[in-house]
Chains A and B, each alone.
Chain A
Amino acid sequence: MNQEEWIQKYLHSELTDQELIEFEQLVATDAALAEELTIRSIFYADRSRHLKSELEALLEQKKPSLLENALAYTDAQLKAIKEAVNTYLIQRHEAPLVMMDNRILVNRNWQIAIVAYQNKKYQLAVQQLQQLSLEKALTDEQIFYLGLCLFYQENPQVEATIEQFQNLLGNGDSIYYEEAKWYISLAYLEQADWVKAKKYLQEIVAQKSWQYKQASHLLTHL
């Protein structure tokens, strides 16, 4: 390695333990190298300071990451939020109703999905609904239950859950609008995205819509 490579590797923290010892010995016995290293280290640090202040400024404009949101809470607060969310998640939403006379008209995939949901076989329900969606556009009711099943299944797909509820929230006339708002709040809480969860929970409380008391309770933790 030539002198320039030694200095670069040192400044970039690329020297192995052994190389670092070797470099220390070189610097200790070569005054010119020590002086060069001094100047280069100072320049490097000054450049780092300027670059970091620019990057810090960019971060200030950026929304906080989920990690930053989570770190703003103590472990005890996080535990309390988790417990509160679980309390509401355990209470499964009631299964869709199918009128006896309509059974014959109902699509087979949807029928299986309903029975699967009733029996808490959420993954099977997801498969049926996804299959159905390949054949025709899902109704609001089917989208809603697909969102729930994605959330309730053994390995929840929270991102996909949010996507389904967002589809419903895009239509203010949907009969599942209020329900979607509540469950999307829970999904965001599960994701530790407190900012978005808070926004929806506050809307639920302000509009006194479905589950507003529960929403108010969750807000006390945020």
Chain B
Amino acid sequence: MQKLSLEDIENIKKGDQKPLGKVFLAHYDYCTTALVKHDHCSLADAKDVVMDAIQVLNDKIVQGKFHNTNLQSYILTIARNKLRNKHKRDRKSLPFDPVKVENYLRQKEDSGSKLSESQQKKVDAVLLGLEKLGGKCKQIIRRNLYDGVPLKELTVELNYKDITVLKSTKSRCIKKLKVFIQELLVKVQD
């Protein structure tokens, strides 16, 4: 499977992840072997960054930025970037490093994580806040900020007259989300 069919691309845009699974299985062995052999990482790290690359591939397709090139080298290049970044990130001071957040979310039942306690509470509040939004707001925030679907495409998907209406609705929804997050954080402190 060197290239994606137009049908697969359209399905991914609609949120169907099955074609991504096919791509992942088709290139997993090659990419992990190349990363372990040539980039000297562990198999666990190789597996992780190849999965990261699948997420990036998904985003690029959803955002209309994927030019149907050779999938194998595309995935490997992204995985290599992710691998390099894994080592770089510890030195950086940006808030809520997605890698750390993901570690926290995945190991929640087990041990602790590298996020501070207050950061963990914030992660929980943001995700709960999204759930609490409900209705149209939840749909807009989920598809745009969570799934990464551009507003232009979302205007059509959600049957908005034009993008400006959607933009102002989104802006109100974000405000609402922030209020919920604050409320949830205050509740936790009490």
Contacts and interface: CB of A to CB of B under 8 A. Distances in A.
A3 interface: no
- Identify the interface centre among A17, A54, A65, A67: most chain B CB within 10 Å of its CB: A67
B145 A47 contact: no
Given A55-B21, A62-B25, A68-B43, A43 B145 contact: yes
Interface of B is mostly: helix
Interface of A: 8, 10-14, 17, 20, 23-24, 27-28, 34-35, 37-49, 51-52, 54-55, 58-59, 62, 65-68, 71
Contacts of A37: 94-96
Interface residues of B, number: 50
A43 to B, nearest CB: 4
Interface of B: 17, 20-21, 24-25, 28-29, 32-33, 36, 43, 47-48, 51-52, 54-56, 58-59, 63, 78, 81-82, 84-85, 88, 92-99, 101-102, 105-106, 122-123, 126-127, 130, 145-148, 177-178
Nearest to A35: B178
Contacts, number: 117
B59 A12 contact: yes
B154 to A, nearest CB: 13
A54 B16 CA distance: 12
A45 B105 CA distance: 8
Most A C-beta atoms less than 10 A away, residue of B94, B95, B122, B178: B94
